[in-house]
Structure 1
């Protein structure tokens, strides 16, 4: 455990400094610029929300990469199905051909998980920062002992300690109600975000492949995980994660609306909006010509001669010449 503990400390220490620096900077701005109460619960909640917005803004490049990877995964699903039909009996060959397809299309199947994977250490560092150091009044990194004690004693609306959890509410109904509402909001926004991606920005072919199965698994598993774990999160951490989910939902809605994947319902809706917008500005938008299928050409059948009676055949052929006598003729 000593070796693993050293590794964890080596990873988490830079995150403690980064997170505490942003958190303290927001707290300083709210206290000195907006003249808010430095020990008030609202000040610390807004500082946590500011920290969330800062972290999510820094993760925008990863989110763009995630969107591109997800779109490529959707577009190559028909080719993946063809490979499955062709090499379904040979798993090793199927894996090789699938990875080759990913390389050729510039697709990283793990890129869609990058924002979540990057956020988890940040989330754990924030959880440790608020649940242990701030709650116990012990400073760390840029969160001094005085600031830690200030956060540890901060109460939202004067009755809801930010360090309290649903399970450790101290018998306060107000704490349990606020914690439950935040857990429900966190779970609902997680489900809505995944559902939005599947229902609007995935072509029909991608809804039946392995990528779709992965998305369906995340659709139902992640909300359950957050709901179960959320009851043990401090109120301050719940504010962070709920705000982060709202950011993700809004960011994804913007991307799907303005840059949808081809062949999806969102793409059709954007085409209709663009057409109506062009008509509103007096522009004539011609619909894409619909190519009608060419009629099937059948090989020309050879006409069969009509059947004639024996008498008609005799008349048409005329009288037959008399046969010549053998041996010549006598004059």
Structure 2
């Protein structure tokens, strides 16, 4: 009976957790319609951030794009401003089994998601009224070695030359953006670099089963990782001064992020207008002396939430893989999962191994749970006698019960501890499976081609329900159990089966294997208890 109640407790706690997550997601703003429908050409609105000094300006439009292809990225750069207006991730497909790459940055009718950067200030070449028009040696660049540099040049009216260099590396999703300024004028040039990510406000594809986040995030010296969603951007502009830091736009499995120099005192900012949100950074004002050459640089990442690659850019950028309040438990689970996968080469098998590890580690507590339950059942006749003896005198009844428990060495809470430990582990693993891009399009075997989505034939949820039914039959209902509670327990396997139909296959696999291991452990423990005379 206690075990059945524990199963019900797990279900109620997890459903409550998912409802809470969905309530959080529902607070996010809904996508807003674009007031101006974009054309097929790449356009730039007057959203260049204001400098720390007053600046002049003009609006410009470019139809010619510079294409850059590496082994990982297909990128298009606009000569106006040198903005990245398109980025496709060649090693990550839009759909399983198809060749079309996943497009993260793009500008289409009704939707904009691009990365902008420039030089602003008293002698900057970008402003709210116009952007610098760069020229390039060619319109298409293809990586043939380990690195590829794409230089864009611009000459100002005072004769100063500006070279904007995009640097790509083989196997990487980060792009170096480096401005080299050669001041041929007789006056010092004062300016500052900015980088921002511009995106049309769009609601996340979050659901109760897949509570994912879409919106902004940033990091400062004080706040290692902080979300700043579209609704917050609409309410108030962010302005944080920090050494180093980064800004990002997040969505399920993927991220775009600007990472300025770690040793600089940067300003992080946001703006939202007409359904378009910007999050970005500004560097301090710097001066290029007459006849001197200077440079300023930043990194731009556009790709999957690869924790190793993100950590290499900034020690806190990997936190965009958000495991929630149980991150301290999810991180070692993720590392253990990666370790198993590196050995077996199959994410499904790795999930099975981590399930066996968790269940094995909890076995002493599980054994203590069933032992405590067996002792409690054996004490039922004595507890019933106490109830008849003391009647409604709860104080004497409580004292007598505690003395009995102490005498028989029974912990009445012994059956709850394993459940309380398993629930955080389950939630942490749930977030690991939900957030780990490694599981996207990762096959298991047979019909399971993608562990990050639901079982297309619902075989795993049905098997999970059957395993719950078997576990229930191994636990006979107590004669004194309330009939309504009996009916609830009988329906639990059905309810859980329906509930798990839309869960990611990897999570259902974990639960199914966990149930099978629990059944085996249950039979072993029961056999040991029988030998000790505990029914």
The residue aligned with 2:261 is none
Distance 1:115 1:214 in 2: 26
Deviates more, 1:240-249 or 1:78-87: 78-87
1:118 Cα offset (Å): 1.3
Matched, 1:114 2:417: yes
Q: Secondary structure at the match of 2:476?
A: helix
1:9 Cα offset (Å): 7.1
Structure 1: which 5+ residue stretches go unaligned? Answer: 32-42, 138-147, 166-174, 200-206, 265-331
The residue aligned with 1:160 is 449
Distance 2:485 2:403 in 1: 22
- Provide the TM-score with structure 1 as the length reference: 0.57
Of 176, 183, 192 in structure 1, the residue corresponding to residue 461 of structure 2 is 183
Matched, 1:123 2:426: yes
Kept in 1: contact 2:348–2:443 (CA 8 A): no
The residue aligned with 1:172 is none
Structure 1, residues 44-101: CA drift from partner, whole Å, max 9, x if none?
1000000000111101110121122012101111101101111233234323322332
Matched, 1:77 2:355: no
The residue aligned with 2:339 is 25
- Provide the TM-score with structure 2 as the length reference: 0.37
Kept in 1: contact 2:368–2:414 (CA 8 A): yes
Kept in 1: contact 2:374–2:534 (CA 8 A): no
Structure whose residues are more often helix by fraction? 1
Distance 1:158 1:88 in 2: 60
1:246 Cα offset (Å): 0.1
Q: Secondary structure at the match of 1:161?
A: coil
Match runs of 1:1-331 below 5 Å? 12-31=326-345, 43-131=346-434, 133-134=435-436, 137=437, 148=438, 151-156=439-444, 157=446, 160-165=449-454, 175-177=455-457, 180-198=458-476, 207-209=478-480, 216=486, 219-220=489-490, 222-260=492-530, 262=533, 264=535
* 1:248–1:107 Cα change, 3 Å: same
Distance 1:107 1:218 in 2: 28
Aligned residues, how many? 215
Distance 1:215 1:197 in 2: 14
Kept in 1: contact 2:466–2:493 (CA 8 A): yes
Kept in 2: contact 1:182–1:238 (CA 8 A): yes
Q: Secondary structure at the match of 1:197?
A: coil
Distance 1:189 1:252 in 2: 13
1:109 Cα offset (Å): 2.2
Q: Secondary structure at the match of 1:73?
A: helix
User: Which one has the largest radius of gyration?
Assistant: 1
Kept in 2: contact 1:194–1:218 (CA 8 A): no
1:17 Cα offset (Å): 1.6
* 1:61–1:183 Cα change, 3 Å: same
Distance 1:244 1:61 in 2: 15
Structure whose residues are more often strand by fraction? 2
* 1:100–1:9 Cα change, 3 Å: farther
The residue aligned with 2:308 is none
* 1:159–1:110 Cα change, 3 Å: closer
> For the aligned residues, what is the CA RMSD?
3.1
Q: Secondary structure at the match of 2:372?
A: helix
The residue aligned with 2:302 is none
Structure 1, residues 194-239: CA drift from partner, whole Å, max 9, x if none?
321327xxxxxxx3356x9899578436425522431232100000
Distance 1:26 1:97 in 2: 51
* 1:109–1:213 Cα change, 3 Å: farther
